[in-house]
Structure 1
Amino acid sequence: MESLISIECFVRSAEAGSFAAAARRLGLTPAAVSKNVARLENNLGVRLFQRSTRSLKLTESGERFLDEASGSLASLQSAIANLASADGQPSGVLKVSMGLVFGRDYILPLLPDFLERYPAIRPDWHFDNRQVDLISEGFDAAIGGGFELPPGVVARKLSPAHLVLLASRDYLDTHPPIRYPSDLPSHDGIRIRSPQTGRVRPWPLVNRQHAQAPIALKERMTLSDPEAACSAALMGLGITLVSMQHALPYLDDGRLVRVLPEWYVNAGNTSIYFTAQKLLPAKTRAFVDYVADHFRNSGLEQRFSAI
């Protein structure tokens, strides 16, 4: 009977494409991972990888074994984690990725009640404005939006991902009036560069009648952070486009106002992502359910809508 660690070393090496990357995820040395895979190959009597100094490639037998072993490994690990839960309660390290401002403003405040309810869970939360690879980087879950689901990952919707145009009252009072999207070309734009692509996305505006219009602002400046863009808008430097999640604090206290309030950008949904497993670890299930319930019951799902 093969040991669980040998099979996990093989699966993680296949997913990551190297023993070194698998070792970082597993908390082992590359030599230990390589040794465990070699032991597995010896016991099975087949070569699972073709090795070279630059690459690690699955053999035909390795591909077949990976297809059959990876799902079973996830189920076994989930079953073990759930059995090992403290007093039948979810437990263990909960590794989650989320955006910096979103995580700080909307997820971190949930921590006291969540830990009171699940004291055996230890959060390991990463505040990164990027899309992480749940499987290869070893995350239990991630919160974000605006990207396609990779294989083996599912999503649970938290709220719409709408973006709105914002400006200061001083800017609007000292510049030509904006009644229609066609008025935007005469105004300064504070654009935001995508952290994924490094480019400014050419979002179209939409309204309730499903009409579309371009955001044809003059590109006065380009920034990489929505909070910086809102600060620039507060200084009266132009009009910016940010998500409702970033806009709400400024709209609530009146520091910024919506430009063309009947128009917005529909960027899909903000969701919580996790791996598609029949036996999801209890700690992950607890977190997913808790966050989703909070968004629904607190009204954040509605507040993040620009409609």
Structure 2
Amino acid sequence: MESMSGIECFVRSAEAGSFSEAARRLSLTPAAVSKNVAKLESNLGVRLFQRSTRSLTLTEAGERFLAEVSSGLAIIQSAVANLTSADGQPAGALKISMGTGFGRAYIVPLLGNFLQRYPAIVPDWHFDNRRVDMVAEGFDAAIGGGFELPPGVIARSLAPAHGVLVAAPDYFTNKTLPQSPIDLAQHDGILIRSPQTGRVRPWPLRNHANEQMPITLRIRMTMSDPDAACEAAQLGLGITLIAMPNALPYLESKKLLRVLPDWYVDMGTLSLYFTAQKLLPAKTRAFVDFIVEHFRTQKLAQRFSAF
């Protein structure tokens, strides 16, 4: 029977494409990972990797072995994690990815209640507006929109991802409030650059009749962070298109107002992503259930809707 450590080193090395990156994720040395994989190959009597100074690629046998053992490894590790939970309660480091502004505004405030309910869980939360590779980067779950679903990852819908146009009341002191999307061409725009592509996405506006119109704002400035765009808009520097979760605190405090309130942008769905394991680790299940419950009780799906 092959050791769990050898199989895990093989699986993580295959996922990462290198022994050094696998070692970082496993908190081992590259030499230890390489030695464990070499021992596994020796015991199996087959070569699992083709090695060179620049790359690590699976052999045909390695590809077959990875397909057969990877899902089983995840199930065994989940079972072990659940059995070793503190006093039968969910325990361990919980690695979660979420957007910076969204996480600080809506998830961090929940920490007290979450840790009171699950004191043996240790949050390892990452705040980043990019889309992470959950499997390759070892995340237990992620909250966001527009993630591509790789094999083994599922999405739990939380709320619609609607974008709205906002500006400071002072911006319109000497300007006419737009009455139609056509009027946007006469106004300054604070545009947001995608962290993935580095470009400004040309979102179309929609109304309740599902009519579509382009956004024709003059480019006054470009930001890479939605909260920075809101702060710039608050200074009266222009109109910005922002996701409802980011815009909501500014709208509720009346620091910003909606421009063309009958129009919005459909950005997809805000979802909670996690691995599709038959035996989900107790810590991950606890987090998923906690967030879903919070969204339901606080009616966040309705609050994040542009309607």
Superposed pair shares fold, TM > 0.5 = yes
Amino acid of the structure 1 residue aligned with 2:10: F
**Structure 1 moving runs of 4+ over 3 Å:** none
Alignment of 1:2-21 (within 5 A): 2-21=2-21
Structure 2 gaps, min length 5: none
Query: Offset at 1:25?
Result: 0.6
132-141 or 13-22: which moved more? 132-141
Partner of 1:213: 213
Query: Offset at 1:173?
Result: 3.3
Alignment of 1:225-240 (within 5 A): 225-240=225-240
SS of the residue aligned with 1:266?
Answer: strand
TM-score, length basis structure 2: 0.98
Partner of 2:46: 46
CA distance in 2, matches of 1:200, 1:208: 25
SS of the residue aligned with 1:123?
Answer: strand
Partner of 1:249: 249
Alignment of 1:189-208 (within 5 A): 189-208=189-208
Amino acid of the structure 2 residue aligned with 1:178: P
280-289 or 148-157: which moved more? 148-157
Partner of 1:62: 62
Amino acid of the structure 1 residue aligned with 2:242: V
Amino acid of the structure 1 residue aligned with 2:160: P
Alignment of 1:258-269 (within 5 A): 258-269=258-269
SS of the residue aligned with 2:70?
Answer: helix
CA distance in 1, matches of 2:15, 2:82: 24
Partner of 2:291: 291
CA distance in 2, matches of 1:80, 1:219: 54
Amino acid of the structure 2 residue aligned with 1:153: V
CA distance in 1, matches of 2:150, 2:71: 16
17-26 or 173-182: which moved more? 173-182
Residues 24-72 of structure 1, C-alpha deviations (whole Å, 9 max, x = no match): 1101111110000000000001110111111111111100000000000
CA distance in 1, matches of 2:228, 2:88: 45
Partner of 1:28: 28
SS of the residue aligned with 1:197?
Answer: coil
Alignment of 1:74-223 (within 5 A): 74-223=74-223
CA distance in 2, matches of 1:75, 1:147: 24
CA distance in 2, matches of 1:170, 1:112: 38
CA distance in 1, matches of 2:230, 2:36: 52
CA distance in 1, matches of 2:175, 2:23: 58
Amino acid of the structure 2 residue aligned with 1:302: Q
C-alpha contact (below 8 Å) 1:25/1:136 kept by paired residues: no
C-alpha contact (below 8 Å) 1:102/1:245 kept by paired residues: yes
Query: Offset at 1:147?
Result: 2.9
CA distance in 2, matches of 1:226, 1:134: 23
SS of the residue aligned with 1:35?
Answer: helix
CA distance in 2, matches of 1:3, 1:121: 27
Q: Give RMSD over aligned pairs.
A: 0.9
SS of the residue aligned with 1:160?
Answer: strand
Amino acid of the structure 1 residue aligned with 2:89: Q
Residues 125-175 of structure 1, C-alpha deviations (whole Å, 9 max, x = no match): 111111111111111111111232222211111111111000111212321
C-alpha contact (below 8 Å) 1:12/1:22 kept by paired residues: yes
Amino acid of the structure 1 residue aligned with 2:142: A
CA distance in 2, matches of 1:151, 1:184: 42
Identity over aligned pairs, percent: 70
Amino acid of the structure 2 residue aligned with 1:251: L
CA distance in 2, matches of 1:165, 1:51: 53
CA distance in 2, matches of 1:50, 1:141: 32
Amino acid of the structure 2 residue aligned with 1:175: K
Paired residue total: 307
Residues 267-286 of structure 1, C-alpha deviations (whole Å, 9 max, x = no match): 01111111111111000000
SS of the residue aligned with 2:201?
Answer: coil
Structure 1 gaps, min length 5: none
CA distance in 1, matches of 2:37, 2:141: 27
Residues 215-245 of structure 1, C-alpha deviations (whole Å, 9 max, x = no match): 0111111111112211211121110011111
SS of the residue aligned with 1:24?
Answer: helix
SS of the residue aligned with 1:28?
Answer: coil
SS of the residue aligned with 1:272?
Answer: strand
CA distance in 1, matches of 2:102, 2:11: 33
SS of the residue aligned with 2:68?
Answer: helix
TM-score, length basis structure 1: 0.98
Query: Offset at 1:19?
Result: 0.5
